[in-house]
A and B are shown apart, each in its own frame.
With several copies, the nearest count.
Chain A
Amino acid sequence: MAVFSGYYKPLSNKAKRILGIVIQVRNVIEIRFHGMGGQGAVMGALILAEAAFSEGKFAQKIPVYGGMRRGGDVTVFLRLDDKPIRRTSGIYEPDALVVLDPALVGNPAVKKGLKEGGIAVLNEERAPSDVDFGVVLGKTATVAATGVSAQLFGVRAIPITNTTMLGAIAKVTDWIELGSLFEPIRHAFPGRIGELNVEACKKGYEIVKES
């Protein structure tokens, strides 16, 4: 039984999929998630990884934080590939960025190393054309995920933006199909809150703007 699962989600919902090895030329996509506080970025990356795995891809997720204390900024490295991923070093020159909090968009540390021609998916109210990363990107996408959180989950100290971002990703990249995300989201959030997150995901798919 091959599974892709973290301890972040209830064990009873563990995915049970068979590992199918497909040897191909290395075609890895290296993505960096940036979030604030809590488990948002980690869960977002995990869901994306699970979804990719369910589509037959290989995935690897490395969270990077200090102590285990909650709060503060969180970085997660995510790799997607057609064959098993072996390298374990951090991602310093990502092919793509996912930024879950608008406050981080302007932070120079966030965009550090982003490759020219890469992709940026941002939680932003502004249009993509209004965001200047100082890097020539292949694609910039913005989605007002904090707004979606307020709509769906009410006003919260730490808004829930990751699932909306994932929907946006499904739309603007070829990493994942929208439909593949729902099952992992439901695994991660059982019950009603899962359905709300699926909705957020769909919403992200709908409202994302890309340039």
Chain B
Amino acid sequence: MSQIVRSFRPVVDMEKCNKCTLCQIYCPEGTVMVVNKEKVVFDYRFCKGCGVCATECPTGAIGMEREA
């Protein structure tokens, strides 16, 4: 019955993002992508909410939000 349970989810502030792709590179699960060098998207089906992307983002563009 394993399922992903997150207490927090990453969200991006594209204003701050510089498209460096570090979030994509370091996300352990591969659940964040920089699409066409313009948009950062998350796969919430599988994202574990670990916060690595937020830590690694050099511009602080990613924040972690409490899940409902």
Task: Give the B-binding residues of A (Cβ under 8 A).
Answer: 36-37, 72-73, 101, 103-104, 107, 109-110, 146, 150, 155-159
Whether B36 sits at the interface, judged by CB under 8 Å, is no
Known A157-B49, A157-B50, A157-B51: A103·B5 in contact at CB below 8 Å: yes
Please state if A37 and B5 are interface contacts (CB–CB under 8 Å): yes
The smallest beta-carbon distance between B53 and chain A, in angstroms, is 14
Chain B interface, DSSP helix/strand/loop, else mixed: loop
- In the complex, the chain A residue whose C-beta lies closest to that of B51 is A157
Q: How large is the interface on B (under 10, 10 to 19, 20 to 34, 35 or more residues)?
A: 10 to 19
Q: List 30 A-B contacts (CB under 8 A).
A: A36-B5, A37-B5, A72-B2, A73-B1, A73-B2, A73-B3, A73-B5, A101-B5, A103-B3, A103-B5, A103-B6, A103-B67, A104-B3, A104-B5, A107-B1, A107-B3, A109-B1, A110-B1, A146-B7, A150-B66, A155-B8, A155-B66, A156-B7, A157-B7, A157-B8, A157-B49, A157-B50, A157-B51, A158-B7, A159-B7
B32-68 CB mask vs A (1 if < 8 Å, else 0) is 0000000000000000011100000000000000110
- In the complex, the chain B residue whose C-beta lies closest to that of A106 is B3
- In the complex, the chain B residue whose C-beta lies closest to that of A102 is B68
**Given A73-B1, A109-B1, A150-B66: 17 more A-B contacts, CB < 8 Å:** A36-B5, A72-B2, A73-B2, A73-B3, A101-B5, A103-B5, A103-B67, A104-B3, A104-B5, A107-B1, A110-B1, A146-B7, A155-B8, A155-B66, A156-B7, A157-B7, A157-B8
By a CB distance below 8 angstroms, the chain B residues around A155 are 8, 66
Provide the bound-state CA to CA distance between A157 and B5, in Å. 10
The smallest beta-carbon distance between B13 and chain A, in angstroms, is 19
The smallest beta-carbon distance between B15 and chain A, in angstroms, is 24
By a CB distance below 8 angstroms, the chain A residues around B3 are 73, 103-104, 107
By a CB distance below 8 angstroms, the chain B residues around A107 are 1, 3
